[in-house]
Amino acid sequence: MEDPSLTFTIPKKQSRERLDIYLANQLPNLSRNQIQIAIKQGLVTVDDETVKPGYILHPNQIIKIKTEKRDPPEILPEAIPLDICYEDEYLLVINKPPDMVVHPAAGNYSGTLVNALLGHTDEMNVFDNIDRPGIVHRIDKDTSGLLVVAKNEIILARLAEQFSKKTALRRYHAFIWGSPKKRSGRIDSPVGRSVRDRKIMAVTESGKKAVTYYQTLEIFPLISYIELKLETGRTHQIRVHMRSIGHPVFGDQTYDGRGTQLGGRNQHDLAFARELLEMMPRQALHAKTLGFVHPATGRELYLDSELPEDMALLKKRLEEEKEIRNKEKE
């Protein structure tokens, strides 16, 4: 049996480019380092010849990448407790805790929200795509908050349409470094794969349209507490957008939310910032509010959730520090 492979034909108008860079742009799910390793292992050929990662490509050449066909592990039901905010015969809304991956993927085939859903009800077995049964939208592993899950294909399609047409309401609460000059604003900047690091996202001209609205709720020492509303739902949109305006989400390990904001601080502020970072090992971002029209009943559903324990404790500590500093000014 012939090995399966990916094939790319270099366009006639393709400019001179290294093989590894070209493939990194074509395969955004792989890092450039992973691609270089595959090339060195002989898994990549150009015109049926093995070459080096720095090989310069020419028009009409054919790249082949040998791939190993593997069946993914079976997705099994697991008895994982779920914080269910609403449930009926058609759908359920879950308040996802931080540290839980939404759907199985390489390296995460257990302990996910999908495993928990399969363990919660047999109704999820009706879906053709068992990897993502009923999943309408997702939030990052280290982001907490509300998610709606459909129980059949028709409800899934109708909910997905609301999210696609931007009629579903999604509001997030977050703590960010510093305080925006304008207490409220609209960020309209395209988001796509970072040119420098394909594993993360960035504001880039080649990205897809992304719009985020923010409103400052309270200003604390070093940090502000804000509400955000999404018009679009790009990967890591809030985190990328807040970094792009100089106010990354507090605690965000990927998008400058840890340590990069400490330069030039006095000793008191440094100690306070480090204390807060110890309290918040993840990005301080929570999908607090979710609103949509029930696809079966036509009734508007509006659900709100409390801040998770770690963010609630962070807020309490910030309130204490703010009160202390205000008294010192009197």
Strand, helix or coil at 216? strand
Two tokens, residue 156: 């899934």
Whether the Cβ atoms of residue 198 and residue 28 lie closer than 8 Å to each other: yes
Q: What gap in Å lies between CA 65 and CA 75, rounded to an integer?
A: 28
Strand runs (DSSP E) across 163-230, as ranges? 169-177, 184-188, 191-193, 201-203, 211-219, 223-230
Strand runs (DSSP E) across 23-75, as ranges? 44-46, 49-50, 62-66
List alpha helices for the chain, DSSP H: 19-26, 32-40, 113-120, 153-164, 237-244, 267-279, 309-329
Which letter, b or e, does each residue of 156-184 get, where b requires 16 or more Cβ atoms within 10 Å of its Cβ? bebbbebbeeeebbbbbbbbbbebbeeee
- CA 136 remoteness from chain centre: 14
Whether the Cβ atoms of residue 277 and residue 168 lie closer than 8 Å to each other: no
Q: What gap in Å lies between CA 55 and CA 6, rounded to an integer?
A: 18
Catalytic residue among 140, 142, 252, 310: 140
Any catalytic annotation for residue 304? no
Strand, helix or coil at 312? helix
Strand, helix or coil at 324? helix
Catalytic annotation, residues: 140
